[in-house]
Structure 1
Amino acid sequence: MAYMQVEIQCDDSTSELLIAALLDLSFDSFQETEGALLAFIEKGHYDEEALRTLLTNYKNEDGSPIHFLAEPLEEKNWNEEWEKNFDPVLIGEKVFIRATFHQPRPDIPFEIVIDPKMSFGTGHHATTSLMIRQMLTLKIENRNILDAGTGTGILAILAKKLGANKIVATDIDEWCITNSQENFELNKIEDIALLKGTIQELQLKSQFDIVLANINKNVLLDEIPTYATLLSKDGILVLSGFYETDADDIKGRAKNFNLKNINIDGLNSWACLIFEKTAQ
């Protein structure tokens, strides 16, 4: 099968936004690199004019335009290529994230198997690692958990392995819903409620003890009021997907909705903020 590779010059936060939009143009796999996003598409589905039009709607955080370079790839066994380039991840000596073709690690308390169709949501990105690090510090057993923007389902899977009671996982992308379900099955998990739509569209009625959201800054700023509404008294909100330089904006927005910042973590310039819901 012939593929095209498109190298899109963009910053990390813009890359996350572009992935969702590129899925609608039939791009089916991605790799985030330093200063660029590599997007792959079957040659027969590639529409350069549609791509060019799409990218005019986006800019980098510094206001600069998005540039791209497209080139055909030689035909390869892409599953084999993934296996060469997808390494297992160990976080905090407690969580081992691997693909089906890696050897298990029964000596690690929590093992998560992820089908590596894309390079995000596998534990390799700093924000995923930060979310997992913070989850390991929380009391999750018997708690009700919302995973907003579940991606590959990795955080929902960990929540289940940590003993969560009820888990609801949401995403706006059909691919993410499909891939999450596949990963739930790989990890022999059957009772996570998986819903497609924005957190506002879904109009959830349940209250949650912990809300997890690893999404880009602009989405978080928009959805923080809804997270606050969905949190139970003294509930915990864990947010990542933004740079350390953006933390004050997130904290300022959260403060307006009775969310008190109780912890901050960072890795490779990315940030993770933890909030507690306080009385009005």
Structure 2
Amino acid sequence: MKWKELEISTTYQAFAAITNLLDEFGIGSIFKEALSQESEDEILVKAYCDEDSFSSRKFAELKKKITNLKEYDLDIGSGKLRVNELQEEDWANNWKENFKPLKVTDKIVIKPTWEDYQASADEIIIEIDPGQAFGTGQHETTTSCLEMIEKYLKPEMNCLDIGTGTGILAIAAAKLEAGATVGIDISPVAITAAQENAQLNQVADEIEFLEGDLVEVVDQDYDLVIANILPHIILDLIPDLKEVIKPDGKFILSGIVEEKLDRVKERLQEYQFKVEEVVQKNEWVTIVGSQKIVDS
């Protein structure tokens, strides 16, 4: 089988947004590398798909959507998109060269299925297969979420993962002994990948994955709600959070670029949410919060 390698010249700030776009197009196996030694913000995003699934029409649509990211005040750099043809063995080798085990926290390790890793007794291993995932879970927004899940999730707390993507965060929650765990995503391709990853990690029976928007598919509240999505979607999501968070529950919001932090905090304040912790890695911010207790 022949594969296509997509190369997108962009910025670190736009990485999560471009990853989401690739997800929408069913394009997986995503990596980033430095584009320039002079600038840490310039990166080259690489993604892989089989030859039959990426037509010239899809190329034009993806290119247009990348350009349109400027409307959300994201610096996309040049946004140049190139496509290279690869044989299957080249695709496999590129995966193996780029994707290595990552120890995210003292407990959580993300690893590809082909890599050996000697786990200690108290480590939780999340395995990802290149044919099943859109990303590797190594972006700062994902690692920050994993750190906060480990910190705030207690055994038997039920958990909702909004925009689940590959399912990594929901899988981590299940492996940390969460109670009922649900992952939702608007992309049917993402739901399929998440289900396959859950099966690979032997937690498929512990997680329910649902396709659709939040208020359309969720009809209960949760102890912990996680959303690792784009800033403008988070702003739209905040009014609906009260419908899905228990009165004493917490939320973890990530995917927020530093420039949008104040706006997100203002929006949370507007809807009577309390910010309890802010974690920043490079220009990416993760917020942990809860509902305010309003005196009667």
Instruction: Tell me the TM-score range normalised by the shorter chain.
Output: 0.7 to 0.9
In the superposition, relative to structure 1, how do residues 170 and 2 fare at CA in structure 2: closer, same or farther (>3 Å)? same
Is 2:168 aligned against 1:154?
A: yes
Check if 1:134 corresponds to 2:155: no
Which 4+ residue blocks in structure 1 deviate beyond 6 angstroms?
none
Closer, same or farther in 2 for the Cα pair 1:63/1:133, shift >3 Å? closer
State yes or no: 1:97 paired with 2:121: no
Identity value in percent = 29
Pairing 1:180–2:190 present: no
**In the superposition, relative to structure 1, how do residues 27 and 186 fare at CA in structure 2: closer, same or farther (>3 Å)?**
closer
- Cα distance in 1 for residues equivalent to 2:159 and 2:240: 15
1:246 match: secondary structure:
helix
The alignment's TM-score, normalised by the length of structure 1, stands at 0.88
Structure 2 alignment gaps of length 5 or more: 35-42
Partner of 2:271: 257
1:245 CA drift (Å):
2.6
- The match for 1:59 among 66, 69, 88 is 69
Which amino acid in structure 1 is aligned with residue 115 of structure 2? H
The answer to whether the Cα contact below 8 Å between 1:244 and 1:269 also exists between their aligned partners in 2 is: yes
Moved more, 54-63 or 132-141: 54-63
Q: Provide, for residues 166-216 of structure 1, a one-character-per-residue CA deviation record: whole Å limited to 9, x for no partner.
A: 1111112222211211121122111211101121332x1111111011111
SS in 2 for 1:136: helix
1:6 matches 2:6? yes
What does residue 47 of structure 1 align with?
55
Which shifted more, 7-16 or 192-201?
7-16
Q: What secondary structure sits across from 1:73 in the alignment?
A: strand
Aligned residues: 279
CA contact (8 A) 1:13 1:242 kept: no
> Are the equivalent residues in 1 in contact too, given 2:23–2:190 (CA < 8 A)?
no
State the match for 1:238 in structure 2: 252
After superposition, the Cα gap between the structure-2 partners of 1:102 and 1:213, relative to the gap in structure 1 and judged at 3 Å, is same
The 1:148–1:115 alpha-carbon spacing in structure 2 relative to 1, beyond 3 Å, is same
The alpha-carbon distance between structure 1 residues 121 and 234, as it changes in their structure 2 partners (threshold 3 A), is farther
**CA 1:205/1:69 → structure 2, altered by over 3 Å: closer, same or farther?**
same
Query: Is the 8 Å Cα contact of residues 239 and 271 (structure 2) preserved in structure 1?
Result: yes
Measured at CA, do residues 81 and 127 of structure 1 come closer, stay the same or move farther in structure 2, by a change above 3 Å?
same
Q: Does the residue aligned with 2:277 lie in a helix, a strand or coil?
A: strand
State the TM-score, normalized to the length of structure 2: 0.83
Rounded to whole Å, the distance in 1 between the matches of 2:161 and 2:262 is 23
Deviation of the 1:236 alpha carbon: 0.4
Let me know the Cα RMSD of the aligned residues: 2.5
CA distance in 1, matches of 2:126, 2:184: 19
Q: Quote the Cα distance in structure 2 between the aligned partners of 1:10 and 1:44.
A: 25
Q: Give the gaps of 5 or more residues in structure 1.
A: none
User: In 1, Cα distance between the equivalents of 2:24 and 2:148?
Assistant: 33
Tell me, yes or no, if the aligned pair for 1:147 and 1:156 is still in contact at 8 Å: yes
* d(CA) in 1 for partners of 2:99, 2:29: 13
After TM superposition, the structure 1 stretch with the greater mean CA deviation from structure 2, 52-61 or 24-33, is: 24-33
- The one of 154, 157, 168 equivalent to 1:143 is 157
- Measured against aligned partners, the alpha-carbon deviations of 1:15-45 in whole angstroms (never above 9, x if no partner) come to 4344444456564443234434323333344
Paired AA for residue 265 in structure 2: K
- The verdict on how the C-alpha distance between 1:14 and 1:118 changes in structure 2, with shifts beyond 3 A counting, is farther
**Which stretch shifts more, 14-23 or 136-145?**
14-23
Which letter does structure 2 place at the counterpart of 1:259?
Answer: F
